[in-house]
Every structure is written in C-alpha cells, then in structure tokens.
Amino acid sequence: MNNPNSSDRIDLMQTFIRIVESGSLSAAAAQLGTTQPTVSRRLQSLEQRLGLKLILRTTHALKLTDDGERCYAQARELLATWHALEDALTGASADPVGTLRVRAPHAFGQDQLIAPLVDYLNRYPRLNIEWMLNDRTPDFIAENVDCAIQVGAPTDPSVVAILLAEVPRIVVAAPSLLARHPPVEAVGQLRDLPWLALTSFYRNEVALQKIDDGQPVNLPITPRLASDSLYAVRKAALAGMGAAIVSSWAVQEDLAAGSLVQLVPAWQAPALPVWLTYPWASYYPARLQHFFSMIKEVMPQLAGTRPASPRAQPAG
C-alpha cells in the first residue's frame, strides 16, 4: 500500500505540471496543499513508471530533461482532455465544482465585487473561490492563478484579455484644504494645490481631458504623499493633505456628505479600463466558463463603472 507506484496517474501528472510551472518542489507543495516530501515522492513515482529522468535537480534550480519537456507538453494536453471528460460525465458543466483562483485589484476587489461574488457562490454551492487581492499582474502559470480582473491596460501579449468596463476618475479635495487656497476656477490652478499621488496610475504629473471636446492638459505635481493604495489616498484627501485623482466610485459617499468636493468638474482623468485576463488553454473547466460569463455581465452594471468606450485591444 505504501508503494509509490500505486499513486494515481492523473495525480502524478498534475503534480509534475505544478512542479514545472511553479519552479520548485516547495512551491508546488504549497499550491497543492501538501508537503515537499510528498511532491518529491510523486515525482519519483512518475519517473519510475515512465523509466525516464524528467527533472534534473540542483541545489538552486530545476531543469527539465528533453524527456521532461515532452512529458510536460503531453501531460498538459492529457489533463485538459481528462478534465473535459470529467466535466461532461459528472454534469459539472451545469453545476461548477472545485476551486477557482482569481486575482483582483485590492480596493475594487474588497468593495465593488464582493456582492456579485457572494451571489455567484450562493448559486453554485459546490464551488469555492480563492479571492486574492493584489494590484500586481499575476504570473498565471507560476502562481497557479486561473484568471484576473485587472484595472489598466494589460501588458502581457500572451494572455487572453477581454475589456469589461471602465471606471471614471475625478479630481477631489477636502473643504479644509480648499479653505487655505484661492478658489480653483480654471484647470491650470490645480498645479498650485498640494497633491496626493496614486502611484499605480500617476506620480509626478496629472493628465486630464475636457469632457465636452476631449481637450487634454498635463500638469506637473510634487505630491506630499504618494501611495499605491486608493484607500490611503482617499483618507489623506479627507484629512485635507492634498488634492487627488480617484475613481469616482470610491468617493461617492464622501461627495454626497460634503467631506470631499469635486474640482473642475468639466475635466476628468481618462477613465481606467477594466479587463478580464487569463492564460490561453485548449479547455476551460466549467467553473471558469461560468465565472467568465458572470463577470462580463455584472462588471458594466456596478456602481461607479460604465460600459467601456471603443478602444484598441492590447497587442497580441
């Protein structure tokens, strides 16, 4: 019973793929929820079954042999076929099962997207989701991420990218800040205010467009506070530290309460596109296909988003 050759072949193939794509036995073990010795035993078992050396292990790295390269390519195709068969026979195409790993932007992912996510999980009780909040674009393969919701244009031409919606952005400041400065009546006066920078999208310069005719203006700024957190920038703006460009959804309540004021409302920053991105595959399991359909439907309807205006798709 303890013979490693008794291990399930599909399990061995899945483990081998995780080792290759994560880059190490320890990373594969973490992603599979098991231990490094177990992963090592599974690799040895697969190599014994095939009578081939698949991976050369050194102290610092793993390197696929020529046989390992061929095995990896075939194993991916085999598992895609197996999962398609499994979904068809178990009815998973109608009722998604398993775990879906999704990367979402930190602020957007903990605010706007939770309600549709909860509704989606209630609809499919056999489905689990790992909801990872991070503004960095994931390495889908190495990090074992199924798909991502990404604000801003994708930069990786190898991924599938679907434009979902766009997020308007406006200039805001607290009344306490404005009381210390002359009234802002023209867009050029914005440069005279202290500023906050949301470094994911702007740092030393703000770019605005006139709403009625698209006229652009670029203003240099020296931010008093720069952060990659939308919530941190919003809090600093509420405290009167500086003006900021923020996604309109994040400050709707502040504007209604009068704790923030929109400046130069005839001007806005270019809207941020929201994309669904994922690696290309020959087969997508039902849990992914259903999620794709759900997010395409709900994203343009969320408060603070709007259907995306026509724009060029990313290269590739």
Same fold, 9-90 and 167-271: no
> Is 170 a residue whose pLDDT tops 80?
yes
Q: What is the pLDDT of residue 313?
A: 45
In this prediction, residues 172-178 reach a mean pLDDT of 97
How far is the C-alpha of 237 from the C-alpha of 243, rounded, in Å? Answer: 6
Task: Give the integer Cα–Cα distance in Å for 20 and 54.
Answer: 10
Mean pLDDT of the chain: 86
pLDDT for 299 beyond 70: yes
pLDDT in tens, 33-49: 888 888 888 888 888 88
Question: Parallel, antiparallel, or unpaired: how do β-strands 127-133 and 62-64 relate?
Answer: unpaired
Q: Of 245 and 49, which is predicted with more confidence?
A: 245
* Tokens of residue 59, six digits: 């102290």
Query: How high is the pLDDT of residue 156?
Result: 80
User: Considering only CA atoms, which of 192, 178, 162 is closest in space to residue 238?
Assistant: 178
Listed residue (253, 285, 291, 252) closest to 168, CA to CA? 252
Whether 179 shows a pLDDT value over 60: the answer reads yes
CATH fold for domain 167-271: D-Maltodextrin-Binding Protein; domain 2 (3.40.190)
Distance, CA of 100 to CA of 281 (rounded, Å): 15
Distances (CA, A) of 277 to 13, 138, 164, 316: 26, 10, 10, 13
Q: What is the pLDDT of residue 247?
A: 92
CB atoms < 10 A from the CB of 24, how many? 16
User: What is the predicted pLDDT for the residue at 93?
Assistant: 55
Report the alpha-carbon distance of residue 156 to residue 136 in Å, rounded. 12
Classified by CATH at the fold level, domain 9-90 comes out as Arc Repressor Mutant, subunit A (1.10.10)
105: nearest Cα among 133, 131, 140, 143: 133
- Asked whether the predicted pLDDT for residue 54 surpasses 90, the reply is no
- The predicted pLDDT at position 203 comes to 93
Q: Please tell me the predicted confidence (pLDDT) of residue 94.
A: 63
Residue 313: closest CA among 277, 266, 284: 277
CB 17 within 8 A of CB 31: no
| Prediction pTM value | 0.70
Domain spans of the chain? 9-90, 98-165+273-307, 167-271
What's the pLDDT score for residue 4? 43
Q: What is the mean predicted confidence (pLDDT) over 167-181?
A: 96
Q: What is the pLDDT of residue 166?
A: 93
For residue 120, give the nearest of 297, 276, 273 by alpha carbon.
297
Whether the per-residue pLDDT at 178 is higher than 90: the answer is yes
Determine the pLDDT at residue 62. Answer: 79
pLDDT at 2 over 50: no
- Does CATH place domain 98-165+273-307 in 3.40.190.10? yes
- Output 105 or 87, whichever has higher pLDDT: 105
- SS3 of 25-66: the string is HHHHHHHHCCCHHHHHHHHHHHHHHHCCCCEEECCCCEEECH
Q: Which of 63-72, 260-269, 280-289, 301-310 has the highest mean pLDDT?
A: 260-269
Yes or no: say if 173 and 263 are a contact pair by the CB < 8 Å rule: yes
With cut-offs at 50, 70 and 90, classify the pLDDT of residue 238.
very high
Question: Which whole number is the average pLDDT over 100-116?
Answer: 90
Q: Give per-residue pLDDT as tens, 140-164.
A: 877 888 999 998 888 887 788 899 9
Q: For residue 61, give both structure tokens.
A: 């790295």
**Mean pLDDT, range 232-258, rounded to an integer:** 95
Under a CB-based contact definition with an 8 Å cutoff, are residues 237 and 172 in contact? yes
Q: Give whole-number Cα distances, 216 to 263, 277, 312, in Å.
A: 16, 29, 19
Element (H, E) at 281: none
- 261-285 tens-digit pLDDT: 999 999 999 999 999 998 877 677 8
Bridging pattern class, strands 244-247 and 159-173: antiparallel
Rounded CA separation 265/209 (Å) = 11
